[in-house]
């Protein structure tokens, strides 16, 4: 895996920890092409961060800050390494937490974001994912319409989303389905 574009273009990321399924380079390239004008200056929330590739890619492309949330200790170590490799650690914050607990919590850092990446494990229970999306939808958007990028298996069902989210784009890359929502 590598960073596709921006200040860290070409940086090779650390080996993927066991149990982590990162978004492919091709899918990340497509996602960021779709988000082009929304990335520079953005405050990013990367949920289920895994390797940190989504948040790091955003920082590389000009995002102001990134908050990465991951519960797995091995993945957290990999994310720290990758932030250093890409030379973006000074604009990133890493939180070791369960995603549902984090988005349901009183941490106002989750409110101060305008671009959210959610790349949950494909095997996540529908109820848990829908609880995360509902809690995220209940949070106050940062300076206008927030964009939420959700990755799922193409074979999975579409989760129930907050009523004020509009589907802006639907992309597929191999087995990965990418849904880009815009909060209205």
Torsion of CA 181, 153, 35, 162, to 10 degrees: 10
| Phi, psi angle pair for 49, to nearest 5° | -60, -30
17 found inside a domain = no
> What local confidence, expressed as pLDDT, does residue 156 receive?
84
Q: Which residues contact 92 (CB under 8 A, 6 or more apart)?
A: 52, 55, 56, 59, 65, 66, 67, 68, 83
What is the residue-wise DSSP string for 85-144?
HTT-GGGEEEEES-HHHHHHSS-GGGTS-SEEEE---TT--HHHHHHHHHHHHHSPPSSS
- Residue 109: what pLDDT? 79
Q: CA–CA separation, 86 vs 9, rounded Å?
A: 9
168 lies in some domain: yes
Domain for residue 18, yes or no? no
* 3-class DSSP assignment, residue 42: coil
- Per-residue model confidence (pLDDT) at position 111: 75
Please give the tally of structural domains in the chain: 1
- What's the pTM? 0.93
Give the per-residue pLDDT at 141.
65
Per-residue confidence (pLDDT) for residue 142, from 0 to 100 = 53
**Residue 6 domain flag:** no
Write the CATH number for 141.
3.40.50.150
Q: Give dist(CA 54, CA 48) in Å, integer.
A: 10
Domain annotation covers residue 11: no
pLDDT computed for residue 117 by the predictor: 96
CA dist., res. 71 & res. 38, Å (int): 27
Task: Name every residue whose Cβ is closer than 8 Å to that of residue 89 and which is 6 or more positions away in sequence.
Answer: 80, 83
Whether residue 122 lies inside any domain: the answer is yes
Is position 7 within any domain?
A: no
Residues of the chain falling short of pLDDT 70: 140-145
Domain that holds residue 74: 25-183
Residue 88 lies in a domain: yes
């Amino acid at each position: 895996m590598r960073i596709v574009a921006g200040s860290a273009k070409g940086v090779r990321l650390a080996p993927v920890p066991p149990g982590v399924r990162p978004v492919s380079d091709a899918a990340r390239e497509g996602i960021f092409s779709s988000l082009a004008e929304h990335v520079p200056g953005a405050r990013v929330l990367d949920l289920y961060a895994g390797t940190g590739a989504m948040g790091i890619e955003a920082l590389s492309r000009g995002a102001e800050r990134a908050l990465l949330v991951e519960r797995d200790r091995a993945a957290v170590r990999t994310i720290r390494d990758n932030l250093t490799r890409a030379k973006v650690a000074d604009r990133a914050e890493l939180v070791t937490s369960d995603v549902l607990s984090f988005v349901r919590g009183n941490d106002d850092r989750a409110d101060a974001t305008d671009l959210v990446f959610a790349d949950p494990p494909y095997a996540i229970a529908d109820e848990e994912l829908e609880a995360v999306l509902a809690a995220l939808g209940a949070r106050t958007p940062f300076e206008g319409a927030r964009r939420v990028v959700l990755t799922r298996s193409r074979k999975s069902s579409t989760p129930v989303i907050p009523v004020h989210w509009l589907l802006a784009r639907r992309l597929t890359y191999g087995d990965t389905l990418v849904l880009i929502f815009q909060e209205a």
